Amino acid sequence: MLATVRMKHDLMLVFCIPAVFVSVVMGFAMGIYAFETFGWVHALASPVVAWFGARELARRYSARDLLIAIHLVWAVGLVFASIAVGFPDSE
């Protein structure tokens, strides 16, 4: 979501809407989980680290490459989120 804020091309920004929507919903749920499990320091530090990563992506890549990177990170994030919530159930 933070990399989408740095997108410079208007049409490419429209293509980022699904990734932003899912990241807002999952980020809210995982943020509550991180706050309850690890404390407020880790819950607040993770977006700061992500901001620096998003800044480097936007500085290094063009709009097309940034869109590809956003969707790739979105896919990897969904895999990690599904592992974190234990999907699929082993029972």
**pLDDT string in tens for the chain (91-residue length):** 777 777 777 777 788 888 888 878 877 887 888 788 888 888 788 788 888 888 888 888 888 888 888 888 888 888 887 887 776 666 6
Amino acid at 88: P
The domain of 6 spans 2-83
Indicate whether 25 belongs to any domain: yes
User: Which pTM was predicted?
Assistant: 0.65
Structurally, the chain folds into a number of domains equal to 1
Indicate whether 71 belongs to any domain: yes
Tokens describing residue 47 = 């977006």
Asked if residue 68 lies in contact with residue 3, where contact means CB atoms within 8 angstroms, the answer is no
